[in-house]
Amino acid sequence: MSKVEELHKRKSKLQIAGTACSNCRKTSKEAGVKILLRCTRCRMSYYCSKNCQKADFPGHKQFCQALCELSAKEEAWKLCDGDETEWNKRVIEHMHLLDEALDRPLTDYEKNSLLYQPKCQVCLISAVELKSPQKLIPCLSCMIISCCSEAHWKIHRPKHQKLCQTYKNMIECENVIYKLMGETAWAQEEWDESRTFPPLPKDWQTYFEWRNAPKFSESFLSVVTNSLSPPLTILAAIERFYTRDELHALDELIIHLIGASQYEIMSLSSFEEIMHVLPNVKVLRLILVGLELPNKTTPAGISMKCCSRCEKENRKRICALFPTSYHEHAEQPDDYIKPHIAVGFNTGLYETDTEHWEPTVKYLLDKDTPCVFTSYSKEEAAQDLQALKDWGAKIISGNKENKWKSIVPLIEPQVLDKFFYNNYYRTLFRGNAS
Ligand SMILES: [Zn+2]
Ligand SMILES: [Zn+2]
Ligand SMILES: [Zn+2]
Ligand SMILES: [Zn+2]
Ligand SMILES: [Zn+2]
C-alpha cells in the first residue's frame, strides 16, 4: 500500500468519536444532515448517508462482524462505573478477544477505535453500551468529548471548558496533516549565506523569521513545529557539545537515532533542515537503531533525495536502519560508526524497554558520546532523568522544557484529558558522573 493510500485509510479522531462520517470525514453539519447514521451491527461507525456506508463497507466488514459478536457477549461488558483502571482493563481485554476473533493482530486504526472510542467522561459508559434512542451528547464546540447525559455534562463542563480549545487545536492539526497527504509541511531550500549558526534563534517565532518562512496559519505552524522538532532539538544539543568553529569545520555529521521506530522514520524527510542550518556539512549520516524498525539496510545506508540546491552542490543525506538494540549494534564492528551525537526521542526509558535502555545508556556513557534524550511530558522527564542518574550519567542539562518541542497536542488514550507533546522536555548528558 502506498503512503497516500495508508493516510486515506487512517481515520480521524472525530471519525473514531462518531461525530464525523467514517467514509467521507464530514461532520453532520458539513454534510448538511441532521444526524449521522450509526452502523446498526457494530454501533461504532457513523455515516452521513447510505452511499457512504456502502462505500466504507468492504474495509469495515470484518471488524464490524467481530465487534458485533463482541458486543453480544454480555460478560465482556462489565460496568466500569467511572473507574478508569477498570475501563482500561476492559478495553485491553476487548483487544485480545478481537485479536482472537479475527485471527490476526489488530490494525492501528482498529486499536485506536477501541482506545479512543467515545465514552461519557464521568461514568465512562461507552457509546456501544447505550441502546438507542439513548446516545452520547458531544460538546458542540470540539465535537470530540461526550457525556451520557446533561447531568453528567453539568459535572464535567467546568473541567472541559479549560481544555476544549486544546482539543480543537488537536483536530485542526490532524486535518492539516491529512491534507498534506504525506508531503512535508516545511520545504525551505535556501539557507543563511552568512552562516550565523550558532547560536540558534531563541524560539520558534524568531527561528521562522531567520529562515524566511512564509506566513503560516496557526494550525499549519503547529504542524511545522512538529516536523522540525527532531532536527532542531538535535541542532540545539550539538550547539552545547561543540564549539562554533568545530561545527563550521564539520564535513560529515553522524547522528545516531536510538530506540528509533515509526516516529523517526516519519521524521526523516525533515532532517535536511540540519544541512540547511549547517551549509558546510557535505554528508549527513542518519543511523537509526531500534527493535521496532522494519528492516535492515546495508551499513553504508541508502542515499535519500535532497532539495535541488543540495543536489547541485553534491551534498548527501544518507540513512541506515538497524532493527536491533543499540548496545548489540555497537558490538558489530562492520556496522558501527562512532557518532557526533546520540539521540533518543520520547524515550520513556524509565518504563518502556528499560532492560534494553540500561545497557545502551551505559555503553554511551563509557564511550563518552554526547547525548540528547527527550520525553513526552514533565512527569515522564523527571522519571527518565532519575533513571539516567541511577545508571551513572553525568548530566549536562537535565530536564529542561525544550524550546524546540512540538506544539501539536497529542492525547493519551488511557488517561482522561491528558495531553502530551513530542520532545516536550529534554536532557543532555555525556560520560560517567564519577
Ligand atoms: Zn459521508
Ligand atoms: Zn459496523
Ligand atoms: Zn455518564
Ligand atoms: Zn469541547
Ligand atoms: Zn537541501
Give residue-wise pLDDT tens across range 224-236: 999 999 999 999 9
Q: Which ligand is nearest to the CA of 141?
A: 4
Mean pLDDT value across residues 339-367: 96
Q: 56 CA distance to ligand 5 centroid (A)?
A: 40
Q: Which ligand is nearest to the CA of 137?
A: 3
Q: 74 CA distance to ligand 2 centroid (A)?
A: 18
How many residues are recorded in the chain?
A: 434
The sign one gets for the Cα dihedral 122, 124, 127, 132 is negative
Looking at 1-15, 16-30, 57-71, 249-263, which range is the least confident one?
A: 1-15
C-alpha cell at 182: 504525506
Looking at 130-139, 253-262, 311-320, which range is the least confident one?
A: 130-139
For 52, other C-beta atoms within 10 Å of its C-beta total 21
The pocket of ion ligand 5, defined by CB under 5 A, consists of 272, 306-307, 310
Residue 83: band (very low, low, confident or very high) from pLDDT cuts 50, 70, 90: very high
143-182 in b/e form (b: 16+ CB < 10 A) is: bbbbbbeeebbeebeeebeebbeebbbbbbbbebbeeeee
Q: 170 CA distance to ligand 2 centroid (A)?
A: 26
Indicate whether 7 pLDDT > 70: no
Q: Write down the residue that cell numbers 464530514 correspond to.
A: 26
E strand spans, 137-224: 137-138, 146-147
What's the confidence (pLDDT) of residue 312? 94
Indicate whether 176 pLDDT > 80: yes
Q: 161 CA distance to ligand 5 centroid (A)?
A: 44
Q: 419 CA distance to ligand 1 centroid (A)?
A: 29
Respond yes or no on whether the N-terminal peptide bond of residue 214 is cis (omega within 30° of 0). Answer: no
What's the confidence (pLDDT) of residue 131? 80
C-alpha cell at 333: 564492528
Q: Which ligand is nearest to the CA of 276?
A: 5
For 362, other C-beta atoms within 10 Å of its C-beta total 15
188 or 165: which leads in pLDDT: 165
Q: 369 CA distance to ligand 5 centroid (A)?
A: 27
Mean pLDDT value across residues 381-404: 96
CA pair distance 17, 36, nearest whole angstrom: 12
Mean pLDDT value across residues 114-138: 90
Indicate whether 123 pLDDT > 90: yes
Q: 307 CA distance to ligand 2 centroid (A)?
A: 45
What pairs with residue 148 in β-bridges? none
Q: Where are the domains of the chain?
A: 3-152, 204-432
* Residue partners of 147: CB distance under 8 A and separation at least 6: 120, 121, 122, 136, 137, 153, 155, 156
Q: Mean pLDDT for the chain?
A: 92
Q: 423 CA distance to ligand 5 centroid (A)?
A: 24
Among 391, 369, 393, 380, CA closest to 419: 380
C-alpha cell at 109: 486504526
Q: Which ligand is nearest to the CA of 130?
A: 3
Q: What percent of the chain stands above pLDDT 70? A: 98
What's the confidence (pLDDT) of residue 9? 67
C-alpha cell at 40: 446498526
Indicate whether 273 pLDDT > 60: yes
What's the confidence (pLDDT) of residue 3? 55
* DSSP single-letter state for residue 27: B
Q: Which ligand is nearest to the CA of 191?
A: 5
What's the confidence (pLDDT) of residue 2? 55
Indicate whether 288 pLDDT > 90: yes
pLDDT tens digits along 137-160: 999 999 999 999 999 999 999 999
Looking at 41-55, 179-193, 197-211, 394-408, which range is the least confident one?
A: 179-193
* DSSP state string for 258-281: ET--HHHHHHGGGGHHHHHHSTT-
Q: 161 CA distance to ligand 4 centroid (A)?
A: 7
Indicate whether 112 pLDDT > 60: yes
Mean pLDDT value across residues 205-213: 93
Q: 322 CA distance to ligand 5 centroid (A)?
A: 25
State which fold the 204-432 domain adopts. Rossmann fold (3.40.50)
What's the confidence (pLDDT) of residue 24? 93
Amino acid at 69: E
Q: Which ligand is nearest to the CA of 62?
A: 2
Respond yes or no on whether the N-terminal peptide bond of residue 198 is cis (omega within 30° of 0). Answer: yes
Q: Do 384 and 373 form a contact (C-beta atoms < 8 A)? A: yes
Q: 66 CA distance to ligand 2 centroid (A)?
A: 9
What's the confidence (pLDDT) of residue 80? 86
Q: 322 CA distance to ligand 3 centroid (A)?
A: 47
Sheet of 283-289: strand order equals 302-304, 316-322, 283-289, 252-258, 341-344, 371-375, 425-432, 393-401
What's the confidence (pLDDT) of residue 89? 93
Q: Which ligand is nearest to the CA of 59?
A: 2
What's the confidence (pLDDT) of residue 6? 62
Q: Which ligand is nearest to the CA of 154?
A: 3
334 or 54: which leads in pLDDT: 54
Among 304, 376, 368, 299, CA closest to 336: 299
pLDDT tens digits along 15-42: 999 999 999 999 999 999 999 999 999 9
Q: Write down the residue that cell numbers 450509526 correspond to.
A: 38
Indicate whether 243 pLDDT > 50: yes
Amino acid at 430: R
Q: 147 CA distance to ligand 1 centroid (A)?
A: 24
What's the confidence (pLDDT) of residue 418? 92
Residue 198: band (very low, low, confident or very high) from pLDDT cuts 50, 70, 90: confident
384-421 in b/e form (b: 16+ CB < 10 A) is: bbebbeebebeebebbeebebbbbbbbbeeeebeebbb
Indicate whether 48 pLDDT > 70: yes
What's the confidence (pLDDT) of residue 1? 44
CA pair distance 73, 406, nearest whole angstrom: 42
C-alpha cell at 83: 473507574
